[in-house]
Amino acid sequence: MRTRLQTSLAMLSALLAQSAFAQDMDARARAAAAASRAKSSDSDAIGQNYLTPGLANQPVNTVDNSRSFTPNLACQKSATMLEMLVQPGSTGDITHFTISRDKDLDGAFDTTLTLPVPVSGICANGVISCSPGSWNQCQSFKWDVGGTGDLKLTQVDLADLSGCYCVNASCGANLASGNLPSILKDLGGGVIGALTTADPRIAVAQASIDGPVIRYTGAQTTACTASPSVSATAYRSNPTAINGDAYAATQTSSVFTALAASPAGNGKAEETRSCTIEREINVKEWGFGDIVSASGSITSTSSCGTGCLRFQIRGAGSCGSNPPVYTVTFNPLMPNRIVSARIIEMGADDWVQGRINGQVVGYAGKRPWTGDGLPSGDCRISDDPRYNRTPIDFTDRLKSGATSVSARVRGGGGGNWGYVTVEIQVDTTCEVSERLVDLCAGYASDPACHLSQEDVDGVETVRNGVVTGIKPLPLTRLFGRGSCTFQYSRDFFLRTRRYACIVDTSGTAQPDLSRAAYIIDHSTETMLADQTRASDGSLVQLTRAFALPDLPAVAACESICKTRAPSANDGVAPAGTVAEKQNVPVGWDSFYHVCSSDNVCPLGAGEEIVSPCGCLNDFPEAVVMMQTVRLAGSDLACTAVAR
């Protein structure tokens, strides 16, 4: 009796200890889950706790805040790489839009861009400018980056923009002011997309929104070089090199050799691989500012024909020992498109001295002035101008690098001026490039692969490995825009293929699942059965008591609620604003929120409850919406027309 009592007490103690251990594990698991959710529950939390401090050279804390470290993820960092300030006007348009940028990531702003046009609409990759307060005389602009890395707006067709919506008074009242945080994010996303596309080394993360200002943290992470052309993006311009480089890497990789010789690498199976053959035709329109930039003491600029500009460097002189010098620096952005660069005229009353990169190249005056000293003779004589119209060519110097042209002026009295006129001629003809990007070459040359599907410009030519007999007609398409519009006729522009490739799997050893099958077939909720193999090869069956700890009660679902808030129909299409085509210009935005522990729906600003907290299931509604879109797409007839 005593022995039985001791045994019962021991079993009871074990069960109590197991229950307490389970409760302790449950509490620890819930605490760990809550801490992790607080750190990374959404994109804002991930950015604030990890991405932003990691890129800004600031400490990053562990989930439980017990430790911190400062990661070194970038070569250069800037706490504020980009700052945008927007201010809506009385018409709802954004009338003041300034972008300050730290190009070299040294912690100080280098450039500031103020948009010269009001912003009436916002797109994922650009903006739309219309007559203030209306949707008339609209122009579309795309965010772009110039040859010097400066941000700019390039005028494009509306079809080249995406995700556009209206913000001025023509679509509703106070759209820009009432939705300023989301507008700042949309504008910033377009700017950041243009910058990172032009320079893949840059990594950015949203830091904060402060009223009408949004600031971004930036860093250089891809490569520690001064050139944006890094090896990480080499395959972007030459994707066909991937197959050859991959093969070369396998020949020297011990890991690949080991995997290729493993049982998993010896079998045979058929894999489906997709690829494309695409004809890329790019048309680029060149302007004078894309080829040569000028900065400094420019008095006036005038046109001298197509691709030709004249710059006048002019200023007042002095009869003192140090006559003033007026300088303009010309920077060659595309040297191979520079046709000529000359000083075509010098004029002064009394003297002017022309200099290139600080060296005297000519003068105009009553007497020679070819050195650094002063010309001999009197000064302060008016109404007696002198001119020198002998051309002085400096084309080779400008093609070699930045070149400065200066006017050193000496004069006084009523005639107190001097100038140097520079004429630069560039080639602004359109640049057209065409190439065929064949990503199927590797599969086509592989004897283990055969073509199973092919689509040529929307026409199915191969189906299940059999030629359909249908061939597409040659297509004619327009490329470019404005004066740089070209028409090309080709037998195809895009081939989409699918290859079936044989992979050898004959040598793959089949896994032994007999033990797992025995455990599953013979175990119960209170007994765990097992089968092992002894040293002599015989099978040994074992059983032991088994019990799961009491699990806490879990809700049938995560309690959520559905809400809605009124929203202006501010979408934009080439035909105009969406609101103009609808009887009711206001729609609804739907939201889903996770309810609080006391089953309360956290309403946002302007929201009203559609479905209270509970186990909501809107899957049938989603299916109906998707089916509606699918059937509407089937009824549409698209016609390719020139635009």
SS3 track for 398-409: HHHCCEEEEEEE
3-state SS, residue 351: strand
d(CA 30, CA 37): 10
Mean pLDDT value across the chain: 83
Q: How confident is residue 4, by pLDDT bands cut at 50, 70 and 90?
A: very low
d(CA 103, CA 105): 6
Q: How confident is residue 382, by pLDDT bands cut at 50, 70 and 90?
A: low
pLDDT of residue 79: 62
Which 8-state DSSP code applies to residue 285? -
| CB atoms closer than 10 angstroms to residue 499 | 21
Which has the closest alpha carbon to 403: 337, 341, 493? 341
Contact between 333 and 293 under an 8 Å Cβ cutoff? The reply is yes
- Please check the confidence at residue 400 and state whether its pLDDT lies above 90: yes
d(CA 411, CA 351): 6
Orientation of helix 254-261 relative to helix 241-251, angle to 10°: 80
CA distances from 74 to 71, 200, 227, 270, 391 (A): 9, 13, 15, 43, 51
Q: How confident is residue 508, by pLDDT bands cut at 50, 70 and 90?
A: low
Q: What is the pLDDT of residues 194-208, one digit of tens each?
A: 888 887 777 776 667
pLDDT of residue 327: 95
- Please check the confidence at residue 243 and state whether its pLDDT lies above 50: yes
- Please check the confidence at residue 14 and state whether its pLDDT lies above 50: no
Contact between 159 and 142 under an 8 Å Cβ cutoff? The reply is no
Among the ranges given (71-75, 329-333, 344-348, 425-429), the one the predictor scored with the smallest mean pLDDT: 71-75
Mean pLDDT of 275-295: 91
Which 8-state DSSP code applies to residue 473? P
The token duo for 471 is 């061939």
Share of the chain above pLDDT 70, in %: 86
| CB atoms closer than 10 angstroms to residue 1 | 5
Q: Which of 158-162, 331-335, 522-526, 580-584 has the highest mean pLDDT?
A: 331-335
d(CA 135, CA 169): 9
- Please check the confidence at residue 643 and state whether its pLDDT lies above 80: no
d(CA 449, CA 269): 12
Q: What is the pLDDT of residues 617-634, one digit of tens each?
A: 888 888 888 888 888 766
One-letter amino acid at 358 equals G
pLDDT of residue 11: 45
The DSSP H or E segment spanning 633 is helix 619-635
Q: What is the pLDDT of residues 444-492, one digit of tens each?
A: 999 889 999 999 998 999 998 888 888 888 888 888 887 788 888 888 9
Mean pLDDT of 497-514: 75
d(CA 525, CA 96): 71
| CB atoms closer than 10 angstroms to residue 64 | 11
- Please check the confidence at residue 233 and state whether its pLDDT lies above 70: no
- Please check the confidence at residue 229 and state whether its pLDDT lies above 70: no
pLDDT of residue 529: 87
Q: What is the pLDDT of residues 161-185, one digit of tens each?
A: 988 999 998 888 888 888 898 899 9
- Please check the confidence at residue 6 and state whether its pLDDT lies above 50: no
The DSSP H or E segment spanning 346 is strand 338-349
In a 13 Å sphere around the CA of 146, the CA atoms on its Cβ side amount to: 18
Mean pLDDT of 411-416: 77
pLDDT of residue 3: 45
- Using left for φ > 0, alpha for ψ between -120 and 50, and beta otherwise, residue 21 falls in alpha
Q: Which of 373-382, 429-438, 546-555, 582-591 has the highest mean pLDDT?
A: 429-438
d(CA 467, CA 449): 16
Distance, C-alpha 608 to centroid of its chain:
36
The token duo for 400 is 């070699």
pLDDT of residue 2: 46
d(CA 71, CA 25): 32
Q: Which of 61-65, 149-153, 341-345 has the highest mean pLDDT?
A: 341-345
The token duo for 189 is 């996303």
Mean pLDDT of 61-68: 84
d(CA 117, CA 198): 24
Q: What is the pLDDT of residues 115-131, one digit of tens each?
A: 989 999 999 999 999 99
Q: What is the pLDDT of residues 531-555, one digit of tens each?
A: 888 888 888 888 888 777 777 777 7
3-state SS, residue 538: coil
Sheet holding 76-88, edge to edge: 111-114, 94-101, 76-88, 213-220, 202-210
d(CA 641, CA 334): 35
Q: Which pairing describes strands 351-356 and 392-393: parallel, antiparallel, or unpaired? A: unpaired
- Please check the confidence at residue 17 and state whether its pLDDT lies above 60: no
Mean pLDDT of 49-68: 79
pLDDT of residue 179: 86
More confident residue, 535 or 30: 535
The token duo for 350 is 């009394």
CA distances from 316 to 348, 382, 413, 444 (A): 10, 13, 11, 73
- Using left for φ > 0, alpha for ψ between -120 and 50, and beta otherwise, residue 74 falls in beta
Contact between 522 and 285 under an 8 Å Cβ cutoff? The reply is no
Among the ranges given (130-134, 220-224, 279-283, 548-552), the one the predictor scored with the smallest mean pLDDT: 220-224
Mean pLDDT of 405-431: 89
Residue in the structure block whose two tokens are 């750190």: 39
d(CA 342, CA 338): 12
One-letter amino acid at 620 equals P
In a 13 Å sphere around the CA of 606, the CA atoms on its Cβ side amount to: 9
